Amino acid sequence: MPHYTPPLRDMQFVMHELLGVVDELKALPPYADIDVDTINAVVEEAGKFASTVVAPLNQIGDREGCTLDKATHEVKAPTGFKEAYAKYVEGGWPALSSDPQYGGQGLPHVVNQCMFEMLNSSNQAWTMYPGLSHGAYECLATHGTDEQKKRFLPKLTSGHWTGTMCLTEAHCGTDLGLLRTKAEPQADGTYKLTGSKIFISAGEHDMVENIVHLVLARLPDAPQGSKGISLFLVPKFLVKADGSLGERNPIFCGALEHKMGIHGNATAQLNLDGAIGTLVGEPNKGLPAMFVMMNAARLGVGMQGLGLTEVAYQNAAAYAKDRIQMRSLSGPKAKDKPADPIIVHPDVRKMLLTARAYAEGGRALAMWTTLQIDKELASSDADVRAECADLVALITPIVKAFLTDNAWISTSHCMQVFGGHGYIGEWGMEQFVRDSRINMIYEGTNTIQSLDLLGRKVLGDNGAKLKRFGKLVQQFVEDEGVSEEMQEFVNPLADLGDKVTKLTTEIGMKAFKNPDEVGAAAVDYLRVCGHLVFAYFWGRMAKVALAKLDSGDPFYKAKLATARFYFAKLLPETAGLIRTARSGVAPLLELEEALF
Ligand SMILES: Cc1cc2nc3c(=O)[nH]c(=O)nc-3n(C[C@H](O)[C@H](O)[C@H](O)COP(=O)(O)OP(=O)(O)OC[C@H]3O[C@@H](n4cnc5c(N)ncnc54)[C@H](O)[C@@H]3O)c2cc1C
């Protein structure tokens, strides 16, 4: 069975030594009393819960999957899932960063984000049950009526109910403008929804007493396309005015998908047969309202990638120190043994270091992004809120796509470290690979994230958001450019910053003539930007590590070595990516459709 140790030391490094989160948070009115000890204690307890309660269920969930009783439409989660969830609720974990007015503990999102990384390392499929509730909570907190907030937010906050997002239909996934589910207004102000949704994560299960579905549907007079979509709250059980549960609402699970990974999470087909719902936000403005949930979910999917990268790395590193095969090319290293541990072989090290650099770089990026969210939500300065909102909007597609692409690479490398033993089920490595693949697909495929980044977030506002991030890079380069020992990090970072500026301008110019140029370059472009962001954080981490190298703590030595690996072996990938991004759309369009 795979093991998992919460990476508390690295989390503390990122929070306190790299980002100085306590000072930043103290400047925000809701967190004026926050301190290092509180943050560390909560994160440590969350790590214990994840590694001792949730992680042991990961392989069980994979083997058993979920089961649907076709007669009752009820779904049973794998053995142990329900009991672990009850402990999660009992421990108050769902309420960590929710608003105290709904029963939340009001802790910063940074703390919650650490917990979700650890839960995802432990068991992605289980974590998706509470994971989607957070997005539903945020969507209702932003767009719900007072009555909806009163009836639903306390139970979502406590975790007694879970949430879902119901967008996808058989004929419409990426293009939600095509959706057909109908909502008929009723005399009492409610709506009756009819239609069929597919692929709904945690869409039906036995872990809680009620499920709060957020459903996209069309009103009878709605315009065609995405401007005619409205958002509805459709609970599994209707909720009476006093908060108690009423009748079963006709939103039933018709089937569960059989899939490549995350077997422990119920991916449900949901049939709405006149299910009663209430409108969330304004008519025909459902998509912008749903984006609150989708953005939260996109960052959440990035955390899934990060969690899997970390746990795969931990297991592969332990295995590589233990497994002996062949001698080192430069002569025996473990002379007392018949062969050397495979960690002596350069390519094994390359695979391990790739996963390690992606995990630690991803953690720094994810934590920084969450800190910007805390500032966006809680700063008393409107300029700070606006700046943070821009940065979060820019970085969200990068967190989602870059971290999940990296997780696919990393889990595959870590499985490879095990040789044939990685490919068989016993060690759990192939499950990490299978589980990680979905993260590149749902919540908008990584191609769609790339189009969002390049088309909407960068070219759509003439590079204003990109410039905001560019300023941070520029400042760091100016501050550290004078330091001899920082040259190896600052120079490639500055060089890549210039290249991204030029590449952006070039694609923008080409796109004036042919918009397909954006589609041709977007995926490469996102990866280049992902590396720019990682190089910035790896540069900053190297600076902290260099300053503390003499402390004797081997943590800083390891951090510096990993930074050097990142700059030498991973960042240079950008040269090839920039070339392919620049090669334009022509080679993609030359082959006629009939010849495919
Ligand atoms: C396990 C699982 C869980 C899921 N959970 C949920 C959930 O909880 N709620 C929910 O509503 N949905 C959920 N989904 C659905 C998921 O979000 C969609 O599958 C995804 O958005 C892609 O839609 P699609 O499958 O219809 O693919 P399509 O939209 O048909 O896309 C097919 C391919 O075409 C590409 N493509 C499409 N348009 C463009 C374009 N303009 N430019 C370039 N390429 C393009 C896509 O990137 C993709 O590679 C889940 C799916 C799975 C498999």
Q: pLDDT truncated to tens, each residue of the chain (596 aa)? A: 899 999 999 999 999 999 999 999 999 999 999 999 999 999 999 999 999 999 999 999 999 999 999 999 999 999 999 999 999 999 999 999 999 999 999 999 999 999 999 999 999 999 999 999 988 999 999 999 999 999 999 999 999 999 999 999 999 999 999 999 999 999 999 999 999 999 999 999 999 999 999 999 999 999 999 999 999 999 999 999 999 999 999 999 999 999 999 999 999 999 999 999 999 999 999 998 888 878 888 999 999 999 999 999 999 999 999 999 999 999 999 999 999 999 999 999 999 999 999 999 999 999 999 999 999 999 999 999 999 999 999 999 999 999 999 999 999 999 999 999 999 999 999 999 999 999 999 999 999 999 999 999 999 999 999 999 999 999 999 999 999 999 999 999 999 999 999 999 999 999 999 999 999 999 999 999 999 999 999 999 999 999 999 999 999 999 999 999 999 999 999 999 999 999 999 999 999 999 99
Rounded Cα–Cα distance for residues 371 and 33 (Å): 16
Ligand 1 center from residue 511 Cα (angstroms): 25
Provide the CA 421 distance to its chain's centre, in angstroms.
29
Provide the CA 123 distance to its chain's centre, in angstroms.
14
| 497 within 8 A of 473, measured Cβ to Cβ | yes
Rounded Cα–Cα distance for residues 240 and 257 (Å): 32
Ligand 1 center from residue 1 Cα (angstroms): 32
Ligand 1 center from residue 294 Cα (angstroms): 13
Ligand 1 pocket, residues with Cβ under 6 angstroms: 165-168, 173-174, 199-201, 259, 267, 438, 441-445, 447-448, 451, 519
Q: What is the pLDDT, as a whole number, of residue 295?
A: 86
| 531 within 8 A of 574, measured Cβ to Cβ | yes
Which pair of structure tokens corresponds to residue 201? Answer: 């994560």
Reference 150, options 278, 300, 275; nearest CA is 278
Ligand 1 center from residue 28 Cα (angstroms): 38
Ligand 1 atom closest to 168 (CA) = 11
Residue nearest to atom 7 of ligand 1 (CA): 200
Mutation choice for ligand 1 from 132, 442, 449, 585, CB with most ligand atoms inside 8 A: 442
Ligand 1 atom closest to 451 (CA) = 42
Residue nearest to atom 50 of ligand 1 (CA): 199
For tokens 């929804």, name the residue: 193
Reference 257, options 208, 203, 298, 216; nearest CA is 203
The residues, any chain, with a CB within 8 Å of residue 24's CB and separated by 6 or more, are: 371, 374, 375
Residue nearest to atom 48 of ligand 1 (CA): 445
| 449 within 8 A of 298, measured Cβ to Cβ | yes
Residue nearest to atom 44 of ligand 1 (CA): 447
Q: What is the pLDDT, as a whole number, of residue 340?
A: 98
Ligand 1 atom closest to 175 (CA) = 29
Mutation choice for ligand 1 from 132, 133, 168, 200, CB with most ligand atoms inside 8 A: 168
Which pair of structure tokens corresponds to residue 44? Answer: 């440590």
Mutation choice for ligand 1 from 260, 445, 446, CB with most ligand atoms inside 8 A: 445
Helix, coil or strand: residue 411: helix
Q: For residue 587, what is the DSSP state?
A: H
Q: What is the pLDDT, as a whole number, of residue 290?
A: 87
Q: What is the pLDDT, as a whole number, of residue 292?
A: 82
Mutation choice for ligand 1 from 133, 272, 404, 441, CB with most ligand atoms inside 8 A: 441
Q: Which H or E run includes 273?
A: strand 267-280
Residue nearest to atom 20 of ligand 1 (CA): 442
Rounded Cα–Cα distance for residues 218 and 222 (Å): 6
Maximum alpha-carbon separation in the chain: 84
Alpha carbon distances (Å) from 316 to 244, 313, 320, 348: 49, 5, 6, 10
Which pair of structure tokens corresponds to residue 574? Answer: 């950008």
Residue nearest to atom 31 of ligand 1 (CA): 174
Which amino acid would we find at residue 84? A
Ligand 1 atom closest to 446 (CA) = 47
Pairing mode, strands 210-217 and 74-76: unpaired
Ligand 1 atom closest to 203 (CA) = 8
| 588 within 8 A of 520, measured Cβ to Cβ | yes
Ligand 1 atom closest to 165 (CA) = 9
| Sequence-separated contacts (24+) of 248-256 with Cβ below 8 Å | 249/275, 249/276, 250/274, 250/275, 251/193, 251/213, 251/275, 252/73, 252/204, 253/68, 253/73, 253/74, 253/75, 253/203, 253/204, 254/73, 254/196, 255/68, 256/65, 256/66, 256/67, 256/68, 256/75
Region of 284 on the Ramachandran plot (φ > 0 left; ψ -120 to 50 alpha; else beta): left
**Quick count: other Cβ atoms within 10 Å of Cβ 384?**
16
The residues, any chain, with a CB within 8 Å of residue 377's CB and separated by 6 or more, are: 109, 385
Ligand 1 center from residue 138 Cα (angstroms): 23
| 536 within 8 A of 493, measured Cβ to Cβ | yes
Residue nearest to atom 38 of ligand 1 (CA): 174
Ligand 1 center from residue 291 Cα (angstroms): 16
Ligand 1 center from residue 442 Cα (angstroms): 6
Reference 366, options 311, 313, 307; nearest CA is 307
The residues, any chain, with a CB within 8 Å of residue 527's CB and separated by 6 or more, are: 402, 405, 573, 574, 577
| 233 within 8 A of 280, measured Cβ to Cβ | yes
Mutation choice for ligand 1 from 62, 134, 167, 174, CB with most ligand atoms inside 8 A: 174
Rounded Cα–Cα distance for residues 504 and 459 (Å): 8
Q: What is the pLDDT, as a whole number, of residue 294?
A: 85
Burial (Cβ within 10 Å: 0-12, 13-18, ≥19) of residue 501 = middle
Ligand 1 atom closest to 262 (CA) = 1
Q: Which residues pair with 67 in a beta bridge?
A: 76
Ligand 1 atom closest to 257 (CA) = 1
Residue nearest to atom 40 of ligand 1 (CA): 448
Ligand 1 atom closest to 164 (CA) = 8
**Dihedral sign for Cα atoms in the order 7, 8, 9, 15:** positive
Rg (CA), the chain: 24
Helix, coil or strand: residue 259: coil
Mutation choice for ligand 1 from 179, 199, 260, 452, CB with most ligand atoms inside 8 A: 199
Which amino acid would we find at residue 265? N
Ligand 1 center from residue 457 Cα (angstroms): 20
Alpha carbon distances (Å) from 275 to 94, 194, 266, 280: 27, 7, 21, 15
Pairing mode, strands 210-217 and 161-166: parallel
Helix, coil or strand: residue 58: helix
Ligand 1 center from residue 433 Cα (angstroms): 19
**For 324, what's the count of Cα atoms within 13 Å in the CB-facing half-sphere?**
10
Ligand 1 center from residue 213 Cα (angstroms): 19
Ligand 1 center from residue 272 Cα (angstroms): 21
Active site residues: 443
Q: What is the pLDDT, as a whole number, of residue 579?
A: 98
Residue nearest to atom 16 of ligand 1 (CA): 442
Residue nearest to atom 22 of ligand 1 (CA): 173
* Backbone φ, ψ for residue 4 (5° rounding): -145, 125
Residue nearest to atom 34 of ligand 1 (CA): 174
Q: Which H or E run includes 431?
A: helix 429-437
Reference 202, options 157, 254, 164, 232; nearest CA is 164
